[in-house]
């Protein structure tokens, strides 16, 4: 009876807090509609911006896996308190109480910096701090000391090439995809090793792969897009063992494995396309910080590609031709273009000028060669007429453009 009452109270409080946007601290746990995907996407957008624009970036991580009934403040760590009303760590209402406790602190920090914290937390662990930074001078030392009032904490520094687990998604400041690809590969090989000598039907294998393995891969790779070669490697690992276990000849067409009329094994390439489109849609529809950062990223992407129209509706670059390395939105639009899919947006963002944009004269290879797009962007050159001489017959020379 007690658990039922507490659960009802928790659901009511959670709905009220979520619907009225009461908490402001950037904590994503416990509330209806909240997800670990939001802080992961926000952190990824911040990393992309720092990487492309070569900005210094410091990210502090703390493991909240162990309960410490105290809060870190600017003046130190508060005293531990006792749960006198019987609401302890494992209680149904516990996550909701923790975000209420932390909200004033997170909101206070947000008044001082643009993005103070992105969290999915309920308690603190003083022994597991880490700082990820791209500051080469700071990285000469392997650690740094931070003062929390009178308390001094020595924190390990993590270099840009090293991946860190953030809400079970691994990220690094170099935005390298290799680590994520190897993780996905290990998930499939581990699954294959377990079932290799098991007596399983094709339906049992299909369920385990589609429901468990695909879900794990989707979550691990949510902030990256694998190219065709990487996807082919992952699909082959699954397809080969499946054919052997079901006594199929190896030459059977792959469409029989993936088709709903066949064995209905999920194709990773199709799953990646579906998931990234849904992610982009949810990201753009977000009413909070994620939505704002996404819109800013799209504006920067339009400038980087010298597009005179909204890149969401006017994207014309295939993934294999994409020269923009560190932009998940650009990669998503590219795989959509590869599959003849388009976005619709009521936001025009049209740049008014001449009738012939630069992008219709230069293909993507020429536009991004030797960072030409950045030079043109610097002087807001989007149309051919801007680099034409007054007689309209010849192009201006390099010194006239001052690029």
* pLDDT tens-digit readout, 126-154: 556 778 888 888 888 888 887 766 777 78
pLDDT of 39 reads 87
Give the mean pLDDT of 298-321.
90
Q: Which residue has the higher pLDDT, 8 or 249?
A: 249
In sequence order, which residues have a C-beta less than 8 Å from that of residue 358 and are 6 or more positions away? Answer: 306, 367, 376, 381, 382, 383, 384
118 pLDDT above the threshold of 80 = no
Give the mean pLDDT of 311-337.
91
User: To 5 degrees, how large is the angle CA 28–CA 30–CA 36?
Assistant: 40
Chain centre distance of CA 55: 19
Separation CA 369–CA 293 (nearest Å)? 28
275 pLDDT above the threshold of 80 = yes
Range from 61-70, 170-179, 315-324 carrying the lowest mean pLDDT? 61-70
pLDDT of 264 reads 92
112 pLDDT above the threshold of 60 = no
Q: Model-level pTM?
A: 0.80
24-43 confidence digits (pLDDT tens): 666 666 677 677 788 899 99
Domains in the chain: boundaries: 2-165, 177-274, 286-401
Give the mean pLDDT of 100-123.
53
Confidence band, pLDDT 50/70/90 cuts, at residue 121:
very low
pLDDT of 397 reads 78
Confidence band, pLDDT 50/70/90 cuts, at residue 16:
confident
Confidence band, pLDDT 50/70/90 cuts, at residue 70:
low
């Amino acid at each position: 009876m007690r658990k039922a009452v507490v659960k009802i109270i928790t659901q009511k409080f959670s709905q009220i807090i979520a619907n009225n946007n009461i908490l402001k601290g950037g904590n994503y746990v416990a509330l209806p509609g909240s997800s670990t995907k939001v802080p992961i996407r926000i952190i990824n957008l911040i990393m992309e911006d720092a990487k492309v624009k070569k900005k210094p970036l410091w990210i502090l991580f703390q493991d909240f896996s162990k309960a410490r009934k105290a809060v870190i403040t600017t003046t130190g760590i508060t005293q531990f308190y006792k749960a006198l009303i019987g609401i302890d760590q494992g209680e149904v209402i516990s996550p909701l109480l923790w975000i209420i406790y932390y909200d004033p602190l997170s909101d206070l920090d947000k008044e001082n910096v643009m993005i103070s914290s992105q969290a999915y937390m309920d308690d603190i662990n003083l022994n597991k701090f880490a700082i990820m930074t791209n500051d080469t001078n700071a990285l000469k030392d392997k650690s740094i000391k931070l003062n929390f009032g009178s308390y001094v904490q020595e924190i390990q520094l993590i270099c840009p090439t090293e991946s860190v687990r953030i809400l079970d998604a691994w990220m690094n400041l170099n935005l390298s995809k290799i680590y994520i690809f190897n993780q996905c590969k290990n998930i499939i090989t581990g699954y294959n090793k377990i079932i290799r000598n098991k007596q399983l039907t094709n339906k049992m294998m299909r369920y385990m792969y589609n429901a468990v393995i695909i879900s794990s891969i989707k979550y691990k790779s949510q902030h990256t897009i694998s190219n065709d070669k990487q996807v082919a490697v992952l699909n082959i690992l699954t397809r080969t063992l499946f054919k052997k276990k079901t006594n199929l000849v190896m030459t059977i067409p792959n469409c029989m494995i993936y088709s709903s009329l066949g064995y209905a094994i999920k194709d990773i390439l199709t799953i990646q396309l579906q998931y990234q489109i849904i992610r982009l849609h949810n990201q753009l529809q977000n009413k909070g910080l994620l939505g704002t950062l996404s819109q800013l990223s799209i504006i920067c992407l339009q400038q980087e590609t010298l597009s005179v129209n909204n890149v969401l509706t006017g994207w014309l670059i295939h993934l294999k031709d994409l020269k923009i390395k560190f932009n998940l939105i650009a990669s998503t639009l590219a795989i959509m273009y590869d599959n003849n899919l388009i976005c619709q947006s009521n936001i025009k963002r049209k740049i008014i000028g001449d009738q012939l944009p630069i992008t219709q004269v230069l293909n993507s290879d020429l536009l991004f060669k030797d960072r030409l797009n950045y030079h043109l962007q610097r002087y807001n050159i989007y149309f051919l007429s801007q680099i034409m001489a007054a007689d309209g017959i010849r192009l201006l020379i390099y010194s006239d453009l001052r690029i």
